[in-house]
């Protein structure tokens, strides 16, 4: 991940520049490798870089040949090689960066440029000749982006990867909507991402093609191995992260075999095997290109001592043959980190904070090992209705509508968690389940096949797609016990004592009297539990009320529970006693 800060139409941009650099520095954790800025006319673009692709030449902001177009990007463009080949007009690329293709795309397609991108991205582009700034965010909002305004400078518009870079100068801030593009020429944001499944009212009727489902997810993971730095996988031991790890391990083995066939011994010729300096990989046509891997795929899990996730993750790692790293944390470790977690997450949502704290702690350990990119399993539960509350869906129409709603809101929940928990330490998380092509396949399946019954466990069709028990010539993807393991939300899986401790400590910090007298500035957004109240108080220590409008509180449907934990659902094997 990288960090971007931009300001357009400022009345005195030269005088504002020191402030802009200071605000950009506030998000340097996202991109600790290099900093850059460009000032032009009334506009400034700042960039904090985490180098993953084009390591030696991809410093930003990027410019075209005559420097009339300036670009700052956060993200990865997986189809950049195909775009370079398909441009209608010759373009002189200055770098090997995957992000530079956005400039010639804009020159050829204008505001339609994001439609051609396959990846996760937020970018701000300034066209000097037209004195025009455009900003865009990837279809699902895997990368974070905010837009802000100041009442003191009504004509000025600001953009940043995180709230902390905007609230010192903006009194109005919005989460930039995923799949949209902003044009300063009109002052409007337009939705460019218009997939067939976007309207939740249209109920798909296609039967599940399990072979296509498997192949499309495999392709999605393959794309996301594009890197020039060592990478790993987050492995909770649940279905989603285990599938991603399994596919990544297969692909790593396949690439190593291809490299050895092509070069005799890739590591002997291109680097030190122990340090993972051998550069091999894939391009859009599955040909060798650029990717760094260690002799073994690294996998990582975290939990309290004896946690369900760590035990399951060890089982998966042993089965796959990954080099697994188990991190245990104490309840005190988690509690001590809470304020910092909320500062980095920029939310007070209970579910997000519960799950982000262990992910935040784990990310620090991973980055300390020299890993800069990890694959993660976010998105699957929204696509396939995997949360236990989906058991309560009354019919397939309601089931599908909720799936669509959840996917649309991922940028305010799990994507925000994955992005900010990792980028707090300069680590990048990639999420294969949210690939555009995979979404097109999976979101157009008849929801009747996704519904949970007494015979069908949650995410049944995904499990079945990777069940090779009737394919004697195919190596199993996962152990049977993992492939058919009951859904465990991450905040539960790290150890049931974690949520219990959070509730207990909230009781000590928030009194009944406080619950009866919430802050007037909270308006109608009143916390309904002491835990939620406690988090809101910590959020207020870091951010002004203007930032609260960017927060969405995660709540399950078709359930009377007030606690969003999966363990609060009565069908959970280790449910709360009072559920």
| Residue range 38-88, pLDDT digits in tens | 999 999 999 998 887 867 766 899 999 999 999 999 999 999 999 999 999
| Domains annotated on the chain, with CATH | 3-191 (3.60.20.10), 210-568 (3.40.50.620)
Confidence of residue 259 (pLDDT cuts 50, 70, 90): confident
- CB burial class (10 A; 0-12, 13-18, 19+) of residue 56? exposed
pLDDT at 352 exceeding the cut of 70: yes
Q: What is the reported pLDDT for 58?
A: 64
Binding-site entries for L-glutamine: 98
- Catalytic positions: 2
Q: What is the reported pLDDT for 269?
A: 37
Q: What is the DSSP letter of 238?
A: S
Quote the CA–CA distance of 220 and 437 in Å, as a whole number: 8
Enumerate residues 6+ apart whose C-beta is below 8 A from 160. Answer: 3, 4, 5, 6, 23, 27, 145, 146, 148, 166
Residue whose token pair is 């040949």: 65
The 10 Å CB-count burial string (b at 16+, else e) for 429-448 is bbbbbbbbebbebbbbbbbb
- Helix H, strand E, coil C: the string for 2-59 is CEEEEEECCCCHHHHHHHHHHHHHCCHHHCCCEEEEEEECCEEEEEEECCCCCCCCCC
pLDDT at 265 exceeding the cut of 80: no
Binding-site entries: 98, 234, 302, 376-377
The whole-number average pLDDT for the span 315-329 is 96
**Mean pLDDT of all residues belonging to the chain:** 90
Binding-site entries for ATP: 234, 302, 376-377
Which pTM does this prediction carry? 0.93
Confidence of residue 175 (pLDDT cuts 50, 70, 90): very high
The whole-number average pLDDT for the span 461-471 is 96
Residue whose token pair is 């690439």: 255
Helix (H, G, I), strand (E, B) or coil at 308: helix
The whole-number average pLDDT for the span 432-443 is 98
Alpha carbon separation from 404 to 190, 397, 399, 443, 447 (Å, rounded):
20, 11, 9, 8, 11
Q: What is the reported pLDDT for 572?
A: 59
Q: What is the reported pLDDT for 122?
A: 98
| Residue range 416-426, pLDDT digits in tens | 999 999 999 99
């Amino acid at each position: 991940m990288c960090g971007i800060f931009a300001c357009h139409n400022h009345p005195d941009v030269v005088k504002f520049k020191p402030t802009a650099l200071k605000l950009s520095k506030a998000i340097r954790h996202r991109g600790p490798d290099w900093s850059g800025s460009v000032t032009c006319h009334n506009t400034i673009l700042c960039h904090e870089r985490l180098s993953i692709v084009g390591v030696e030449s991809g410093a930003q902001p990027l410019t075209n040949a005559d420097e009339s177009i300036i670009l700052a990007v956060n993200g990865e463009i997986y189809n950049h090689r195909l775009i370079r080949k398909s441009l209608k007009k010759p373009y002189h690329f200055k770098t090997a960066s995957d992000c530079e293709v956005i400039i010639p795309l804009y020159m050829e397609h204008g505001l339609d440029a994001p439609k051609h991108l396959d990846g996760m991205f937020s970018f701000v582009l300034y066209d000097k000749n037209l004195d025009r700034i455009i900003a865009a965010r990837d279809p699902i909002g895997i990368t974070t982006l905010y837009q802000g305004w100041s009442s003191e400078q009504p004509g000025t518009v600001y953009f940043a990867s995180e709230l902390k870079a905007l609230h010192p100068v903006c009194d109005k801030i919005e989460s930039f909507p995923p799949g949209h593009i902003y044009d300063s020429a009109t002052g409007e944001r337009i939705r460019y991402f218009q997939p067939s499944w976007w309207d939740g009212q249209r109920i798909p009727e296609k039967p599940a093609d399990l072979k296509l489902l498997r192949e499309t997810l495999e392709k999605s993971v393959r794309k996301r191995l594009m890197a020039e730095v060592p990478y790993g996988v987050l492995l909770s031991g649940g279905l989603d992260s285990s599938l991603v790890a399994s596919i990544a391990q297969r692909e790593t083995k396949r690439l190593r075999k291809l490299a050895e066939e092509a070069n005799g011994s890739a590591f002997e010729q291109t680097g030190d095997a122990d340090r993972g300096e051998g550069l091999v990989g894939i391009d859009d046509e599955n040909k060798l290109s650029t990717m760094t891997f260690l002799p073994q795929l690294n996998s990582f899990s975290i939990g309290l001592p004896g946690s369900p996730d760590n035990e399951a993750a060890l089982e998966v790692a042993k089965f796959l043959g990954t080099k697994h790293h188990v991190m245990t944390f104490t309840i005190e470790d988690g509690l001590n980190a809470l304020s910092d977690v909320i500062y980095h997450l920029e939310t007070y949502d209970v579910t997000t904070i519960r799950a982000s704290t262990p992910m935040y702690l784990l990310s620090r350990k991973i980055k300390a090992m020299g890993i800069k990119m990890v694959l993660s399993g976010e998105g699957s539960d929204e696509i396939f209705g995997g949360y236990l509350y989906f058991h309560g869906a009354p019919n397939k129409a309601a089931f599908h509508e909720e799936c669509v709603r959840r996917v649309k809101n991922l940028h305010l929940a799990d994507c925000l968690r994955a992005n900010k928990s990792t980028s707090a330490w300069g680590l990048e998380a990639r999420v294969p389940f949210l690939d555009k092509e995979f979404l097109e396949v999976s979101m157009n399946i008849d929801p009747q096949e996704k519904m949970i019954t007494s015979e069908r466990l949650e995410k049944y069709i995904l499990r079945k797609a990777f069940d090779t028990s009737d394919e004697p010539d195919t190596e199993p993807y996962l152990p049977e016990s993992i492939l058919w393991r009951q859904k465990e939300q991450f905040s539960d899986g790290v150890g049931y004592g974690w949520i219990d401790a959070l509730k207990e400590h909230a009781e000590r910090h928030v009194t009944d009297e406080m619950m009866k007298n919430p802050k007037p500035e909270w308006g109608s957004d009143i916390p309904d539990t002491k835990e939620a109240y406690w988090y809101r108080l910590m959020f207020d220590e870091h951010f002004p009320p203007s930032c609260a409008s960017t927060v969405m509180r995660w709540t399950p449907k078709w359930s009377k529970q007030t606690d969003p934990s999966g363990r609060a659902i009565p069908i959970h094997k280790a449910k709360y006693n009072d559920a």
